[in-house]
Amino acid sequence: MLEDVWSVVPIKSMWPLTILEGILPLMSLKDVYPSITVGGLFRILILGIILWKIPRFVYRYSHFYRAAIRVQTIGPVHPLWGNLNLIKEVPDYFELIQQCVQKTRTRTYVTWITSLSHYFGVCHPETAKLLLKSSEPKPKGIGQGYRSFIPWLGDGLLLSEGAKWERNRRLLTPAFHFDILKSYVKTYNEVADILINKLLNASKSGKSIEIYELVGLATLDTMLRCSLSYDGNIQQKGDSHPYVRAVRRLTQLCLERTLKPWLFMDWMFILSPQGREFRRLINHVHAFADDIIERRRSNMSTSNTNTRKRLDFLDILLVSRDENGSGLSDRDIRAEVDTFLFEGHDTTASAVTWALYCCAKYPEEQEKIYQELTFLTDNNDYMGWDSIKGIDYLNLFIKETMRMYSPVPMIGRRLTKPVLVDNVLFPKDSVIEINISAMHHHPDVFPDHMEFRTDRFLDANVGDNDPFSFVPFSAGPRNCIGQNFAMNEQRVLIARVIRRFKIKLDPQHETKIFPEVVTRPQFGVRVILEEREPPSVFL
């Protein structure tokens, strides 16, 4: 009987029989299935897997579908493409959501990616706080935005989860202590000096200049100096500096991958031209950080870190220890440094640029800020720690700017357990968008949301507001660990520019909001700068 079995098995296919031996008794195979072949067995096996998977998929999909149909959709749903036929560019998506929120005043929404896939969204303090108060992880599945950044940022605070995230969050918290932040003020001013000189030279012609690019270089310069004590003439070299060029291009490639479904699968992306370029740039930025980390660790073994005038972010990561005396590996340190640089420079550049734009758009606000700065700093451009803590009106102005133009328009979470949101049970593994931009413009939260009002953040007016109504740095346990660092940097850069220049908008240039990873101006922000005369009388 065994010979009969061999007679129907091609020689090249004989090896699977060793696998099948443990599943089906070979001696009785022909008695049960007289004409079966190994190929037929594999087809049966595949069919069995499919038949086993289909009920699981239907059961799982039905849970998501029952929740999704009870939530406000952002627009008409195509039977095949969902809402995708309404979206050509990323800003179209944000505009659709904004229109939906303004029209329906909904607190939740659903975006149908196809007829079988969707994302939930929350856009109101009452619904957002349910997620912000938790430490739910970021969504990193196939086709989800955060996944594109994993090869670059690794398991840094942005993308890590669970016990590792909790441990690293504890280890990194001392890096943003009051005393550490205070030591960075000199660096902020040194970076501002370079920016001011560049603005002076560019404004001599009397023509308008584009500031988003210049501010972005300044914030990246700040991050490199404060995190790695690296001074590579970033602002002077710009894109000619290989690290600057690599970081900017990596950000573009991550976003590009998120928007192109054929690049979702890792193997497809790796084989693509974008994937090959991505890997080359990743190797460069990782080698850049690894080299600095290795040299710093080596220097620490031969010198006393306490003798240095200022500890940077890397110093603190190298000496951090948990309750068991264990520190961070070089790979962990690199991930945190890369995350700090990525999250810190682009978001702050967005915030500072939009603040300067609003100064130009609302000259009466600009004048109030200037008068406050004149009183605090006398005839000295330098912004010291005491001056930073005394700029009350500028603080209100920055907050209102970040409400109008949220630096990070949206963040994501993946549910590890079902959550009841507005009487709808969002199932486990749901992907939830926390739409900060829509929340900051929700008509039930800010009825006059398109009016620029700094007074809305006065203590007298904030009292009755939900603390989750204004969350430019997120909120809860996964909030931005470096928000005080970022706010101080903004204060210094904005104050130094306003102290030196009167800013006006270029009437020939249209400034368009372009929300992506950060909210940036699509065609930049062009302003006309007039150097101020030093004040002779102080209030």
pLDDT in tens, 241-292: 999 999 999 999 998 888 788 888 899 999 999 999 999 999 999 999 999 9
Domain that holds residue 233: 145-531
State residue 513 phi and psi, 5-degree precision.
-75, 135
The single-letter code of the amino acid at 449 is: H
**Between these two residues, 219 and 463, which has the higher pLDDT value?**
219
Residue-level pLDDT at 364: 97
Residue 113 located in a structural domain: no
Instruction: Indicate the pairing of strand 431-435 with strand 118-122.
Output: parallel
Residue 381 located in a structural domain: yes
How far, in Å, CA of 280 to CA of 282, rounded?
6
Residue 81 located in a structural domain: no
Residue 297 located in a structural domain: yes
pLDDT in tens, 330-352: 999 999 999 999 988 999 999 99
pLDDT in tens, 472-499: 999 999 999 999 999 999 999 999 999 9
The DSSP 8-state label assigned to residue 216 in this structure reads H
pLDDT in tens, 10-35: 433 334 444 444 444 444 545 555 56
Residue 130 located in a structural domain: no
CATH number for 373 = 1.10.630.10
State residue 308 phi and psi, 5-degree precision.
-75, 150
Residue 152 located in a structural domain: yes
Contact 334, 287 (CB under 8 A): no
Residue 460 located in a structural domain: yes
Contact 375, 538 (CB under 8 A): yes
pLDDT-derived band at 3, boundaries 50, 70, 90: very low
| pTM as predicted | 0.87
The annotation status of 358 as a binding-site residue, yes or no, is: no
How far, in Å, CA of 96 to CA of 91, rounded?
9
Torsion (CA) 349, 355, 361, 367 in degrees, nearest 10: -140
Three state DSSP letters for 372-434? HHHHHHCCCCCCCHHHHHHCHHHHHHHHHHHHHCCCCCEEEEECCCCEEECCEEECCCCEEEE
| Block residue for tokens 């129907």 | 8
Closest CA to 427 of 145, 53, 55, 65: 65
Contact 250, 153 (CB under 8 A): no
Residue 287 located in a structural domain: yes
Total of domains in the chain: 1
